[in-house]
Structure 1
Amino acid sequence: MTEDFYDILGVSRDASDDEIESAYREAVREYHPDVSDDPDAEEKFKKAKKAKEVLTDDEKRQMYDQMGHEQFVEAEKRGATDDGGRGGRGGDPFGGAAGGGGPFGNMQDIFDQFFGGSGGGGGNRRGQDLKTQLTIDLEAAYHGTEKELTVTRPEACGECDGRGHPPGTDSRTCPDCNGSGEQTRVQETAFGRMQQRTACQRCEGQGTIYDERCSTCRGDGIVRNQTTLQVEIPAGIKTGQTLRMRGEGAPGESGRNGDLLVEIKIEDHPDFDREGANLQTRKAISFPQAVFGDTVELETFDGTVEFEVPEGTQSGETFRLNGKGMPRPQRRGSGDLLVKVQVVTPDSLNEEQREALEAFAEAGGEDIEVEQGFFDRLRNSF
């Protein structure tokens, strides 16, 4: 069974660039020859590096998805072999201009050779990707959620059904392509002589010229409409990560739609700060709790949790609650919750409390004039 680049990194076929980069960093930590004891570490490291190189390059990834793993790798090998056999190609095994940057230095030319133009022959072009931003709160990022997102995007014109002309409009055969919608040219490439078919520019690949254009879309076949989409947000997502919604971008020319890239922004939270997969917060405890120790309750995104404050705890000490932080996407477990305790001095004392503190001070041998600011001095000491 062929192990493709997605399998090597352990990501889905619709993984975002951020997810691929994250998976690659994990592979580096696990398989780098300088740190791994795995006998196959070097080979696994090379495979991960190659997978990341291809899948984070939009053109290479699109070609990889179209060709499949074996044909893609074979094309790369043949290009390198042809370069060594012919020579004089300026380092470009696919017949591109000198200095093209290796086997895929002129990726658009190769894509054109295989699929006839920028992403498809005869107007069969993939739609453009669109980008937008979505803001969520930290709790939504903790649990994962589904959010509504309203975007303005190009869509097929409903008036003319994307044709660009009203129904019943007089038409005639395009004289440039004789109605085929395509023009063919022969080109010498690294793979031999290949025929390249491209969309006819005059009729834009339709084979027919119309006498009237649609008044709504002005002949483009495309209008801009607002659309509300449901976005699935995985638990543990970070600010700056991008979700790819397949097929929700601009429409293609008889090809599949582009994608919608949703960049996530997470709002600051009043009680929790995020540091990677860890969360940080503060918890106020009383002076007696700090002195004698206590079981303290804390409200978290998963409800109330308890942790033990030992006797003699000082203000500012931090306690780590394992596994109570942010979930780690594509990995098991969660980060930790770091709780910094603050010993709080009450603003006022009743008579009984005051007498008890006076006795405490005397028992400790402190020479303090209670009537002249004992409480303020005590509070300042903490």
Structure 2
Amino acid sequence: MTEDFYDILGVSRDADEEEIQKAYREAVREYHPDVSDDPDAEEKFKKAKKAKEVLTDEEQRQMYDQMGHEQFIEAEKRGATENGGRGPGGPGGDPFGGGGGGFGGMGDIFDQFFGGGGRSRNRPQKGQDLKTQLTIDMETAYHGTEKEINITRPEECSDCNGRGHPPGTDSQTCPECNGRGQTTRVQETAFGRMQQRATCRRCAGEGTIYEESCPTCRGDGVVREDATLVVEIPAGIQSGQTLRMRGEGAPGEQGARNGDLLVEINVEDHPEFERDGSDLQKHEPISFPQAVFGDEIEIETFDGPVEFEVPAGTQSGERFRLKGKGMPRPQRRGQGDLYVQVEVVTPESLNEEQREALEAFAEAGGEDIDVDQGFFDKLRNSF
């Protein structure tokens, strides 16, 4: 089965642009060749980038859905080769307009033809959102707290103030795009003669080129720095929920606001409590006499022990509800419930007095039990 763009990003066919962009950012964090140890990272990164470019463009996506994956790719190849074997990057160029760089150059051919044209860096761009994970225990999730997290993230280069070149560096208008930040070409494709616009490769869309790059950030304007942040964890948070720390992501371009940091929470299992949404469940052992006669026992909760009345005649496996003793409900009032399932514990050893009492109990109930062979197994089964 051919892997299509939706499969590559792991989204449904009716996913909106926000879902697609989110899936792409996750793929970048996982497969970017600079950070991934996956031997196929570069290829996976290219596929994810290509999928995002097509699925976030309305016209390309409509065409892709109508044509199907194989026909869409084949149409692009024809469009890039009908011009005498010359791709958008000239002889030897790749069919998607990336020159020798795969999908990392001018973007998808249909995006260029139908007005995508690449985004000029002359316009300020919001910084990218970053994502990290934080594991907490269930008691922390119950009470809520503040936690320190350590991340490595892009920061604006302090040596060049994010410009990518030292202050006072000589500059000139880019001769490739004449300062527009974009180049325009006319190309014959399977769909006819079309105009192709793309971000200028020489100036990366700025319209200006500089004689010298910043040696610290190598012209990128950003460097990777370690940061310690404090995240506020609300009471009742569940595994899989994501906290957004606004402005703590990657820096924006040319004064645009920073992206956000998304903190995905993982809540560990608890040795005593099982969680179901805002409800909790636990198993509580009781003795045979407690089950028969009833008793008042202490039940441990995340707020400390509470008194609970075990009714006389309680059966092993019965469940009781302690209202409002479950997990807090985030953004809602109140708490869930705690369900206590009692388990009658069969004694493994008895003293002589206990043994005689149980023998008398069995005889009084009319049970014919050979106490010398398998008495406790039979007693356990009778419960």
- The two structures have a TM-score, normalised by structure 1, of 0.61
State the AA in 2 paired with 1:315.
Answer: S
Pick closer, same or farther for the CA change 1:55–1:201 going to 2, 3 Å.
Answer: closer
Tell me the equivalent position of 2:309. Answer: 308
State the AA in 1 paired with 2:277.
Answer: G
- Whether the 8 Å CA contact 2:152–2:224 is kept in 1: the answer is yes
Give the CA deviation at 1:206: 6.6
User: Structure 2 CA distance, aligned partners of 1:133 and 1:276?
Assistant: 20
Tell me the equivalent position of 2:293. Answer: 292
Give the CA deviation at 1:360: 1.3
Matching of residue 228 in structure 1 with residue 228 in structure 2: yes
Pick closer, same or farther for the CA change 1:208–1:122 going to 2, 3 Å.
Answer: closer
Tell me the equivalent position of 1:139. Answer: 139
User: Structure 1 CA distance, aligned partners of 2:268 and 2:202?
Assistant: 50
Q: Which runs of 5 or more structure 2 residues have no equivalent in the other structure?
A: 1-14, 22-57, 64-110, 183-198
Aligned pairs for 1:193-204 within 5 A: none
Pick closer, same or farther for the CA change 1:367–1:58 going to 2, 3 Å.
Answer: closer
Q: Report Cα offsets for 1:99-133 as digits up to 9, x if no partner.
A: 989xxxxxx9xxx99xxx96x98331101111222
Matching of residue 256 in structure 1 with residue 251 in structure 2: no
Aligned pairs for 1:68-87 within 5 A: none
Give the CA deviation at 1:181: 8.7
Aligned pairs for 1:12-51 within 5 A: none
User: Structure 1 CA distance, aligned partners of 2:213 and 2:173?
Assistant: 16
Give the CA deviation at 1:58: 9.2
Tell me the equivalent position of 1:155. Answer: 155
Report the 3-state secondary structure (helix = DSSP H, G, I; strand = E; otherwise coil) of the residue aligned with 2:291. Answer: helix
Give the CA deviation at 1:346: 1.6
User: Structure 2 CA distance, aligned partners of 1:152 and 1:181?
Assistant: 35
Aligned pairs for 1:338-377 within 5 A: 338-377=339-378
- Whether the 8 Å CA contact 1:278–1:336 is kept in 2: the answer is yes
User: Structure 2 CA distance, aligned partners of 1:57 and 1:359?
Assistant: 70
Tell me the equivalent position of 2:327. Answer: 326
Tell me the equivalent position of 2:130. Answer: 130
Give the CA deviation at 1:367: 2.2
Aligned pairs for 1:85-96 within 5 A: none
Aligned pairs for 1:96-245 within 5 A: 122-169=122-169, 171-174=170-173, 209-245=209-245
Give the CA deviation at 1:368: 2.2
Tell me the equivalent position of 2:380. Answer: 379
User: Structure 2 CA distance, aligned partners of 1:369 and 1:99?
Assistant: 78
Report the 3-state secondary structure (helix = DSSP H, G, I; strand = E; otherwise coil) of the residue aligned with 2:271. Answer: coil
- Whether the 8 Å CA contact 2:164–2:217 is kept in 1: the answer is yes
User: Structure 1 CA distance, aligned partners of 2:355 and 2:60?
Assistant: 88
User: Structure 2 CA distance, aligned partners of 1:252 and 1:130?
Assistant: 12
State the AA in 1 paired with 2:125.
Answer: R
State the AA in 2 paired with 1:218.
Answer: R
Pick closer, same or farther for the CA change 1:207–1:297 going to 2, 3 Å.
Answer: same
Report the 3-state secondary structure (helix = DSSP H, G, I; strand = E; otherwise coil) of the residue aligned with 1:288. Answer: helix
More off after superposition, 154-163 vs 120-129: 120-129
Report the 3-state secondary structure (helix = DSSP H, G, I; strand = E; otherwise coil) of the residue aligned with 2:355. Answer: helix
Q: Report Cα offsets for 1:43-87 as digits up to 9, x if no partner.
A: xxxxxxxxxx9997799xxxxxxxxxxxxxxxxxxxxxxxxxxxx
Pick closer, same or farther for the CA change 1:326–1:313 going to 2, 3 Å.
Answer: same
Give the CA deviation at 1:159: 3.1
Q: Report Cα offsets for 1:275-320 as digits up to 9, x if no partner.
A: 1211111000011100000111111111111211100000000011
- Whether the 8 Å CA contact 1:174–1:203 is kept in 2: the answer is no
Pick closer, same or farther for the CA change 1:99–1:131 going to 2, 3 Å.
Answer: closer
Report the 3-state secondary structure (helix = DSSP H, G, I; strand = E; otherwise coil) of the residue aligned with 1:330. Answer: coil
Tell me the equivalent position of 2:66. Answer: none
Aligned pairs for 1:45-60 within 5 A: none
Give the CA deviation at 1:362: 2.0
Report the 3-state secondary structure (helix = DSSP H, G, I; strand = E; otherwise coil) of the residue aligned with 2:372. Answer: helix
State the AA in 2 paired with 1:375.
Answer: F
- C-alpha RMSD of the superposition: 3.5
User: Structure 2 CA distance, aligned partners of 1:175 and 1:159?
Assistant: 24
State the AA in 1 paired with 2:173.
Answer: C
Give the CA deviation at 1:226: 2.1
Pick closer, same or farther for the CA change 1:56–1:279 going to 2, 3 Å.
Answer: farther
Tell me the equivalent position of 1:281. Answer: 282
Q: Report Cα offsets for 1:318-369 as digits up to 9, x if no partner.
A: 0111111111111111111111100001211111111211221222222223
Pick closer, same or farther for the CA change 1:181–1:232 going to 2, 3 Å.
Answer: farther
Pick closer, same or farther for the CA change 1:377–1:203 going to 2, 3 Å.
Answer: same
User: Structure 1 CA distance, aligned partners of 2:123 and 2:267?
Assistant: 40
State the AA in 1 paired with 2:315.
Answer: Q
- Whether the 8 Å CA contact 1:272–1:279 is kept in 2: the answer is yes
Tell me the equivalent position of 2:3. Answer: none
Give the CA deviation at 1:142: 1.2
User: Structure 1 CA distance, aligned partners of 2:161 and 2:206?
Assistant: 14
Report the 3-state secondary structure (helix = DSSP H, G, I; strand = E; otherwise coil) of the residue aligned with 2:290. Answer: helix
